[in-house]
A and B are shown apart, each in its own frame.
Chain A
């Protein structure tokens, strides 16, 4: 029973695939959303705990929350990609969009298995299931060189990351003699090989999470790949990376991480600073979002410095906040480029006149990402910062807070385009109904999460 959500997702994927063969013009987005929603409901309804396959598959509170995060990001990404998937006249319409959808569902499935796995083997296999199909998605625009370049870059860096992880896993297996993660945690001796394993895992996950210096692929991939994929990469894929870190940092070698806190602090500083500084110079909005999301990864790293009860909850909360804020922005990006085909920051001139609601949603989400109260992004950052402060890293808090100020500069740059600069032509953009509703709903959540304490309390209760 505890595998029900995964099964629902797989069945949905197969249904879309098969129906697409026989029925012309099916509303596949509706089917996918229905499937994901019922998976979400089933995961909420089912009790937490229990195991399957002889302990290979468990449903821990961590797994529970990560699955919710994955499903939420898939749900929102697919809804805001409605134009790409369904509207043939749209400028960002994807060829053979059913397959795109199916692959996306399978990736989600891989991610869900990932957080439930208890051994190195199943963890690695599900991680690959969540990674390899992404290469295909990145190359979706077959005739565009940028898309091909994106896919190739992503493939190489992804392969490198996988091999680093595999090497780390072999070190761990070799020194502890077990594949099981909880047994491994007990058998830890902090030998040099295990410290190497820690470093290699950080590097391997670093690619997925876009930590500096493993971030270089992100901008090209975001720019070249379909926007629907870029938005998915920025949330779900990053969350999967975070999930792997959570498993290893908090469950396998928590003591080692605590003694190497300074190392994490340095990576976090590098990640947020570099991401921010490079974002300052971007002209293309997708590249811009790539660097913005790199700097966000730096903030998330701060959450790993503390104890599980506080750190993990802060990380989970921030991920949820980040998903909603980031996807609102990508939703607006897709709505704009769906009708205009443009994706430069200067193309957003006068959006507040032509589409006041779109601009307002975008503004709130940008403010949320830069951590302005009372929006949820502030609260998320506040909790992450307090984790670092609790560990005595006050300098890191100062660095991170100043970084938020720098980030405000470029987020305000977009707001300036939308609100202050005059538009050449102020034709209003037609936004399709599903996108409109999703954006409104997500914007409300972005605001509500910052004011209502219930969600944070709910996550906290589970641990």
Chain B
């Protein structure tokens, strides 16, 4: 049992412990979760250190490698008849995603501190879901990958359905069914890969040359299957409803981490195994991603509900991830991975803040709020920092990610006409302006000016827990923004193999 298995199953063990704790000890299991996920964060840091120890040796070789090299590998046989293995390991990209998830779940547990309704089951389901997420990021066996992927998606139904707000049942059902339909495509794709390649081992499959005809039909299957979770246009419709209805911690986790599984899967499975398919379909998905970015930002301008506002902004920002991947350019793909991390933290911050504001004002309607900065300066400033990260202000992480994606987009790739690429990139870049419009206008409406509703005078600023939550997330935003080289160094080595395969 290596450190990775511990990291994957620690949340699950916590979930079981929480379920076994007697009902009367309501506060006890919140503490168990907080300490457990805090411990998880520490262990993730240890894992990162261990990864660096072994990665340092291969730093140079990574640049020309055609195959992903794994670290901290654990490999056991599982279903012998099908050569299914429990095969986990990490490369730089996985480590970055693990850090992201660990931060989000720790802050997510803290952000649900005030939840009163059936807290026990809530925390248990949340932790089971997180096990699935961690599992996806470390699995290199397609079967195992798929199992974890589903575990990460399904508990969402109950988390939104039971603890959500608004038209929660509709949203929960829509979200679950759309994501599951995506997984149906994935399952068909994975079985096609298995019947052709004769293995589920992703690294072994990397050595197999898939025939062109197959690449052409399996690649879009996988891309769309993962794309649904990555909110790819026109399959993004679950995301605004889902995020708006979900309780705070779930929105944080879902927009922050789960949507990243989509982009991660596209890169890890689809692009890794089907480079020629990726070239063939590059243009189609690039156009879809551009629509994503532009449409998401324009839709956000029109929103009146804080959560819908953030959700559409998420659609737009997740569009950047898919856009970066679809350019097939090294710099842009790197930017896409940084964007996964950066947007995860940023949106986690947003949703936690919305939860905190909503908990006080009992409304999420933007026009009916105003002047909140006077009564809750801490939350207001945090919101602004998140907003600035979202519109790509330098020294915050969003800038690092988006500038990489745009530079990569302008550089283009050898298989697409340069002019089209640059035109699309220009379009996507323009959405930054729109982002600035909705972020600044929305925040000004909520926080600036005079207090519109006399009831708001009595509201209080952030509690200690809330300060801790926002503090951690803001620190991470600045850290990545100011020291981008650390992040780039972490993931760069793992991106090369994908690009070298084109």
Distance between Cα atoms of A392 and B154 in the complex (Å): 29
Is B481 positioned at the interface, with any CB of A under 8 Å from its CB? no
Closest Cβ neighbor of A383 among chain B residues: B82
Asked if B181 contacts A405 (CB within 8 A), the reply is: yes
Is A174 positioned at the interface, with any CB of B under 8 Å from its CB? no
Distance between Cα atoms of A378 and B122 in the complex (Å): 24
Q: Known interface pairs A372-B150, A386-B191, A420-B161. Does A409 touch B184 (Cβ–Cβ under 8 Å)?
A: no
Asked if B147 contacts A374 (CB within 8 A), the reply is: yes
- CB contact between B151 and one of A374, A382, A389 (< 8 Å): that residue: A374
Interface of A (DSSP majority class)? helix
Is B176 positioned at the interface, with any CB of A under 8 Å from its CB? yes
B439 to chain A, nearest CB (A): 34
Asked if A398 contacts B173 (CB within 8 A), the reply is: no
Q: Known interface pairs A389-B192, A453-B79. Does A409 touch B173 (Cβ–Cβ under 8 Å)?
A: yes
Asked if B194 contacts A401 (CB within 8 A), the reply is: no
Chain B: residues with Cβ within 8 Å of the partner, total of 32
Distance between Cα atoms of A453 and B161 in the complex (Å): 33
User: Could you say which residues of chain A place their CB within 8 Å of the CB of B326?
Assistant: none
Closest Cβ neighbor of A453 among chain B residues: B79
- CB contact between B187 and one of A401, A408, A457 (< 8 Å): that residue: A401
Annotate B159-202 by CB proximity to A: 1 below 8 A, 0 otherwise: 00110000011001100110011011101100110110000000
- CB contact between B181 and one of A383, A385, A402, A460 (< 8 Å): that residue: A402
Asked if A373 contacts B184 (CB within 8 A), the reply is: no
Annotate B103-118 by CB proximity to A: 1 below 8 A, 0 otherwise: 0000000000000000
User: Could you say which residues of chain B place their CB within 8 Å of the CB of A398?
Assistant: 184-185, 188
Is A124 positioned at the interface, with any CB of B under 8 Å from its CB? no
A317 to chain B, nearest CB (A): 10
Asked if B184 contacts A405 (CB within 8 A), the reply is: yes
Asked if B192 contacts A460 (CB within 8 A), the reply is: no
Asked if B184 contacts A402 (CB within 8 A), the reply is: yes
With A416-B173, A420-B169 known, 11 other A-B pairs at CB within 8 A are A367-B154, A373-B146, A382-B187, A386-B194, A386-B195, A389-B195, A390-B195, A405-B184, A415-B157, A419-B158, A420-B161
Asked if A385 contacts B191 (CB within 8 A), the reply is: yes
- Per the 8 Å Cβ criterion, residues 119-168 of B in contact with A are 143, 146-147, 150-151, 154, 157-158, 161-162, 168
User: Could you say which residues of chain A place their CB within 8 Å of the CB of B147?
Assistant: 373-374, 378
Is B458 positioned at the interface, with any CB of A under 8 Å from its CB? no
Closest Cβ neighbor of B158 among chain A residues: A419
Give the number of A-B contacts (CB < 8 Å): 83
Is B486 positioned at the interface, with any CB of A under 8 Å from its CB? no
Is A404 positioned at the interface, with any CB of B under 8 Å from its CB? yes
Distance between Cα atoms of A401 and B183 in the complex (Å): 8
Taking beta carbons and an 8 Å cutoff, which residues of A are in contact with B?
313, 367, 372-374, 378, 382-383, 385-386, 389-390, 392, 394, 397-398, 401-402, 404-405, 408-409, 412, 415-416, 419-420, 453, 456-457, 460
B126 to chain A, nearest CB (A): 15
Q: Known interface pairs A389-B194, A456-B79. Does A416 touch B188 (Cβ–Cβ under 8 Å)?
A: no
User: Could you say which residues of chain A place their CB within 8 Å of the CB of B188?
Assistant: 389, 394, 397-398, 401
Annotate B189-225 by CB proximity to A: 1 below 8 A, 0 otherwise: 0011011000000000000000000000000000000
Distance between Cα atoms of A373 and B168 in the complex (Å): 24
Asked if A419 contacts B185 (CB within 8 A), the reply is: no
A6 to chain B, nearest CB (A): 31
Distance between Cα atoms of A376 and B183 in the complex (Å): 17
| Most central of A386, A412, A416 by chain B CB within 10 Å | A412
Is B78 positioned at the interface, with any CB of A under 8 Å from its CB? yes
Distance between Cα atoms of A419 and B125 in the complex (Å): 13
- CB contact between A405 and one of B81, B161, B168, B180 (< 8 Å): that residue: B180
Distance between Cα atoms of A436 and B132 in the complex (Å): 30
A387 to chain B, nearest CB (A): 10
Is B80 positioned at the interface, with any CB of A under 8 Å from its CB? yes
The 3 closest A-B pairs by CB, nearest first: A401-B184, A373-B147, A389-B191
Distance between Cα atoms of A398 and B183 in the complex (Å): 10
A447 to chain B, nearest CB (A): 12
Distance between Cα atoms of A412 and B160 in the complex (Å): 13
- CB contact between B162 and one of A313, A397, A419, A453 (< 8 Å): that residue: A419
| Most central of A372, A383, A385, A405 by chain B CB within 10 Å | A405
User: Could you say which residues of chain A place their CB within 8 Å of the CB of B80?
Assistant: 453, 457
- Per the 8 Å Cβ criterion, residues 402-453 of B in contact with A are none
User: Could you say which residues of chain B place their CB within 8 Å of the CB of A420?
Assistant: 158, 161-162, 168-169, 172
User: Could you say which residues of chain B place their CB within 8 Å of the CB of A313?
Assistant: 81
User: Could you say which residues of chain B place their CB within 8 Å of the CB of A392?
Assistant: 195
Closest Cβ neighbor of B168 among chain A residues: A420
A–B pairs, 29, beta carbons within 8 Å? A367-B154, A372-B150, A373-B146, A378-B147, A385-B187, A386-B82, A386-B194, A389-B191, A394-B192, A398-B188, A401-B184, A401-B187, A405-B177, A405-B183, A405-B184, A408-B176, A409-B173, A412-B173, A412-B176, A416-B161, A416-B173, A419-B158, A419-B162, A420-B172, A453-B78, A453-B79, A453-B80, A456-B79, A460-B81
User: Could you say which residues of chain A place their CB within 8 Å of the CB of B172?
Assistant: 420
Closest Cβ neighbor of A421 among chain B residues: B169
Distance between Cα atoms of A402 and B195 in the complex (Å): 20
Asked if A419 contacts B161 (CB within 8 A), the reply is: yes
B10 to chain A, nearest CB (A): 17
Annotate B295-336 by CB proximity to A: 1 below 8 A, 0 otherwise: 000000000000000000000000000000000000000000
- CB contact between B177 and one of A401, A408, A416, A456 (< 8 Å): that residue: A408
